[in-house]
Amino acid sequence: MKMVNLMNDTENLSLQLEEPEKETEYTFSEEKNKIVGKTLYLVATPIGNLSDISQRAVKVLSEVDFIAAEDTRNTLRLLSCLGISKSVISYYEYNKAQKGEYILRRLKEGESCALVTDAGTPAISDPGEDIVRLCAENDINVTAVPGCCAAITALSLSALSTSRFLFEGFLKGTKSEKKKRLEDLSLERSTIILYEAPHRLKDTLELIYECLGERKIALCRELTKLNEQVIRTTVSGAVKLYNESEPRGEYVLVIDGAAENIKDAFWKDMSIREHVDYYVRLGYEKMAAIKLAAKDRGVGKSSIYKELIDK
């Protein structure tokens, strides 16, 4: 049974939850929650469900001198839902160099600023990382008001291994640049997390199949919203699904890492070339040998070709 012990003094209000073996202490420190000047607050906002806003986020958004937002229209809508009226300036990919300097100047003059992204945690797949770096380089205090993050929400729902993961965000660049990136990831044993827009989903799934081969995948869409859905399938199953229906909403893709069960595999000490040659010696055509080696390793054919060409 949990014992709740409330200690209240003017400096510190702490709630201790006592459990047989583990003790968790939550501190509601008025001192820590005070808004101070010369500080950038990274404020996480909901990824689709307004109720996910935290009490501290509301307090910080209400009390800072100004808010820097990726999309001011989105943020003004959020603030209006929360009943907050505040000066909001835009800070996004195409004005971040100039606006970063402007925000820094105001912070240096003693103001406090909350940085918010369109949804979720600032600095995760958005220009926030640049302003955090700028502040760190200029001795401006940066603190976080944590909350939703689409990547972590999806990972926790994926039913795939969560012990090690690699966050890739959006695959960037041309098709061949994306392909190269996926090929580089093909031997990665950690679970891989990708963000993708619905209009690019089909192409991305096909590229994943080509470069990573058959794997388990969780397509997490519209997280925390009314139509939240987690589709746990295989990469080929996902390709088939979206050949038959149109992707809708926002997606996080959580992909199984390359096969772990190589410890006992006959090819575990072979290089990729030796692995392919092994099948060739058994009488397979080169193409078939490449396919078999790719299948053994749980990777796409193209990453095997690449190894053969590069080395």
Binding interface with ligand SAM (CB under 6 A): 47-48, 117, 119-121, 124-126, 149-151, 195-197, 220-225, 250-252
For the bound state, the minimum distance from the C-beta of residue 159 to ligand SAM, rounded and expressed in Å, comes to 16
For the bound state, the minimum distance from the C-beta of residue 258 to ligand SAM, rounded and expressed in Å, comes to 23
For the bound state, the minimum distance from the C-beta of residue 256 to ligand SAM, rounded and expressed in Å, comes to 19
DSSP state, residue 199: G
The separation between CA 242 and the C-alpha centre of its own chain, rounded to angstroms, equals 23
The answer to whether the beta carbons of residues 256 and 215 sit under 8 Å apart is: yes
For the bound state, the minimum distance from the C-beta of residue 208 to ligand SAM, rounded and expressed in Å, comes to 15
Nearer to ligand SAM by Cβ, of 113 and 304: the residue is 113
Nearer to ligand SAM by Cβ, of 231 and 262: the residue is 231
How many CA atoms does the CB half-sphere of 107 hold within 13 Å?
26
Nearer to ligand SAM by Cβ, of 252 and 272: the residue is 252
- 42: phi then psi, degrees, rounded to nearest 5: -90, 105
For the bound state, the minimum distance from the C-beta of residue 238 to ligand SAM, rounded and expressed in Å, comes to 15
Nearer to ligand SAM by Cβ, of 52 and 65: the residue is 52
Instruction: In whole angstroms, give the CA distance from residue 61 to residue 88.
Output: 10
For the bound state, the minimum distance from the C-beta of residue 109 to ligand SAM, rounded and expressed in Å, comes to 28
Long-range CB pairs of 270-275, under 8 A, 24+ apart, other chains included: 271/311, 272/297, 272/304, 272/307, 272/308, 272/311, 273/307, 273/308, 273/311
The answer to whether the beta carbons of residues 96 and 127 sit under 8 Å apart is: yes
Nearer to ligand SAM by Cβ, of 150 and 290: the residue is 150
The answer to whether the beta carbons of residues 302 and 210 sit under 8 Å apart is: yes
CA triple 177-233-237, angle to 5 deg = 70
For the bound state, the minimum distance from the C-beta of residue 146 to ligand SAM, rounded and expressed in Å, comes to 10
Nearer to ligand SAM by Cβ, of 221 and 306: the residue is 221
Nearer to ligand SAM by Cβ, of 131 and 292: the residue is 131
For the bound state, the minimum distance from the C-beta of residue 170 to ligand SAM, rounded and expressed in Å, comes to 7
Instruction: In whole angstroms, give the CA distance from residue 120 to residue 146.
Output: 9
The answer to whether the beta carbons of residues 243 and 270 sit under 8 Å apart is: no
Nearer to ligand SAM by Cβ, of 47 and 290: the residue is 47
Rg of the Cα atoms in the chain:
24
The pairing of beta strand 112-116 with beta strand 66-69: parallel
- Alpha carbon distances (Å) from 78 to 36, 123, 143: 23, 19, 21
Q: Closest residue to ligand SAM, Cβ-based?
A: 120
